[in-house]
Amino acid sequence: MARFTLDPERSSVSIAGNSSVHPISANATGLTGAFEIRLRSDKILADPRLTGEVNIDVDKLRSGNALVDRETRRRINASTYPLISGVALGSERTSATTMAVTGEISFRGEVVGVDGDLALEMVDGEAHLSGEQTFDVRKWGLKLPRLGFLKVHPDVTVSVSLVGVPS
pLDDT tens by residue, 100-128: 999 999 999 999 999 999 999 999 999 99
**Closest Cα partner for 61 from 86, 27, 111?**
27
* pLDDT tier for residue 150 given thresholds of 50, 70 and 90: confident
* pLDDT tier for residue 58 given thresholds of 50, 70 and 90: very high
Average confidence score pLDDT of the chain: 94
Pair 122, 128: CB distance under 8 Å: yes
| 65 three-class SS | coil
Dihedral-angle region of residue 10 (phi above 0 means left; psi in -120 to 50 means alpha; beta otherwise): alpha
All residues at 6 or more sequence positions from 67 whose CB lies less than 8 Å from its CB, including other chains: none
pLDDT value of residue 145: 76
Going from N- to C-terminal start, the domains of the chain cover 2-166
User: Considering the domain 2-166 in this protein, what is its CATH number?
Assistant: 2.40.128.110
**pTM of the model as a whole:** 0.93
43 φ/ψ angles, rounded to the nearest 5 degrees: -120, 150
pLDDT value of residue 93: 96
Chain center to CA of 18: 18
Average pLDDT value for residue range 23-27: 94
